[in-house]
Amino acid sequence: MPWSTVAVVVGSWILLLALTLLYYLVWSLHRDYGDGEEED
Protein backbone atom coordinates (compact mmCIF):
# COMPACT_ATOMS: atom_id res chain seq x y z
CA MET A 1 0.00 0.00 0.00
CA PRO A 2 1.50 3.41 -0.98
CA TRP A 3 2.95 5.39 1.96
CA SER A 4 1.19 8.56 0.68
CA THR A 5 -2.23 6.92 1.12
CA VAL A 6 -1.43 5.84 4.68
CA ALA A 7 -0.01 9.30 5.48
CA VAL A 8 -3.08 11.18 4.20
CA VAL A 9 -5.76 8.84 5.64
CA VAL A 10 -4.14 8.32 9.06
CA GLY A 11 -2.48 11.74 9.29
CA SER A 12 -5.71 13.63 8.61
CA TRP A 13 -7.52 11.55 11.26
CA ILE A 14 -4.83 12.36 13.87
CA LEU A 15 -4.78 16.06 12.89
CA LEU A 16 -8.56 16.32 13.19
CA LEU A 17 -8.47 14.63 16.61
CA ALA A 18 -5.67 16.95 17.77
CA LEU A 19 -7.49 20.11 16.58
CA THR A 20 -10.72 18.99 18.27
CA LEU A 21 -8.96 18.41 21.59
CA LEU A 22 -7.07 21.70 21.26
CA TYR A 23 -10.33 23.60 20.70
CA TYR A 24 -11.91 21.90 23.73
CA LEU A 25 -8.86 22.62 25.88
CA VAL A 26 -8.60 26.29 24.86
CA TRP A 27 -12.30 26.83 25.55
CA SER A 28 -12.07 25.04 28.91
CA LEU A 29 -9.25 27.35 29.98
CA HIS A 30 -10.84 30.48 28.55
CA ARG A 31 -14.18 30.14 30.41
CA ASP A 32 -15.94 32.73 28.27
CA TYR A 33 -19.26 31.48 27.00
CA GLY A 34 -20.06 34.28 24.60
CA ASP A 35 -22.58 36.18 26.65
CA GLY A 36 -23.11 36.42 30.36
CA GLU A 37 -26.84 35.90 30.33
CA GLU A 38 -26.34 32.32 29.18
CA GLU A 39 -24.68 31.40 32.49
CA ASP A 40 -26.91 29.84 35.08
Q: Which residues contribute to the site for another protein (CB under 8 A)?
A: 1-2, 4-5, 8-9, 12-13, 16-17, 19-20, 23-24, 27-28, 33-35, 37-40
- Residues 33 and 37: their CA atoms lie apart, in Å, by 9
First and final C-alpha spacing in the chain: 53
* CB 37 to another protein: min, Å: 8
Sorted by sequence, the CB contacts under 8 Å of residue 39 that are 6+ apart come out as 33
* CB 4 to another protein: min, Å: 5
* CB 33 to another protein: min, Å: 4
